[in-house]
Amino acid sequence: MNLSNIVIVLDHPDESRNIGAACRAMANNDISDLRIVGNKADYDIEHIHVLAIHAGAIFDNARFFNSITEATSDCSICAGTTRRRGKKRGKLLLPEEFAEMADTTTNNSGKVAVIFGNERTGLTDEQLDECNLGVTIPSSDGFGSLNLSHAVQIMSYHLFRYSLKQKKGEYRGYTPLTLERVDQTVKTITDDMQKIGFFKMPGREDMENFWRSVLSRASLSEGEAQYLEKTFNKMAGLASKNASNSSQQ
């Protein structure tokens, strides 16, 4: 995912503060190309900068256009965001599905635009006709309307998150241990428990099954497994030391 080829387009936003908050959301996710359909003179730059915090430069470098078509003329994909489904709105992608689609395009130097409508009305059918696909963010049937900056944050985050999958060492999740690796930890634990006399040999199998069940369901990381192993090793070592001291007295 080449995030420099992601374009965020706000169509006639009402609130200057929402523009500032949207800039901050973009900066959180390494996206910087902001385009606004509307007139720059209609917005309070001071209010924008207050909400943008340290992302005010995104607004300062934003470009203004007269229509969505004009704002996205250099883009290969123009995706309109909407929470309403309808005959004219076609198949709507989820944010994660859209991120997967955007990946190929941005990596091949194509620009991908994500369009957000006015806070009160969202994108009209006419505005969506200027887009070549639609994206929807699932939300409550009872209260489905998202704040503009929140919608920008969610879409930007999914694009950013997808980009992390391709950057080795920068993905901030973890890979749960394989069952083979879990068995190594189970062996360490039960070896140490046996050393301190916690059970006799006939009880070891039941104890191994217990730890294997608990640890596999816990989806441990490598670091957590190592911490457990060190803890039980230390317990066994202390027990052995105490026993040795007692025998010498």
Q: Long-range contacts made by residues 63-70, C-beta under 8 angstroms, separation at least 24?
A: 63/34, 63/35, 63/36, 64/35, 64/36, 64/37, 64/38, 64/39, 64/40, 65/35, 65/36, 65/37, 66/37, 67/37, 67/130, 68/9, 68/11, 68/37, 68/115, 68/127, 68/130, 68/131, 69/130, 70/37
Q: How far is CA 155 from the centre of its chain?
A: 9
CA-to-CA distance for 15 and 160, rounded, in angstroms?
25
Q: What is the pLDDT, as a whole number, of residue 88?
A: 46
* Token duo for residue 122: 């969202």
CB 48 within 8 A of CB 24: no
Phi, psi at 10, each rounded to 5°: -105, 120
pTM (two decimals): 0.71
* Token duo for residue 42: 């209609």
**E strands, the chain, in order:** 6-11, 33-37, 63-65, 77-81, 92-93, 112-116, 133-135
Q: Is 153 helix (H, G, I), strand (E, B) or coil?
A: helix
Domain boundaries, the chain: 3-164, 179-248
Q: Give the CA diameter of the chain.
A: 91
CA-to-CA distance for 19 and 164, rounded, in angstroms?
26
Q: Which CATH number fits domain 3-164: 3.40.50.2300, 2.60.120.560, 3.40.1280.10, 3.40.50.970?
A: 3.40.1280.10
CB 221 within 8 A of CB 177: yes
Give the pLDDT of the chain (249 residues) as one tens digit per residue: 899 999 999 999 999 999 999 999 999 999 999 999 999 999 999 999 999 999 999 999 999 999 999 999 999 999 999 886 655 456 789 999 999 999 888 888 899 999 999 988 899 889 988 998 899 998 888 887 889 999 999 999 999 999 887 665 555 566 788 889 999 999 999 999 988 888 776 788 889 999 999 998 888 888 999 999 999 999 988 988 887 777 666
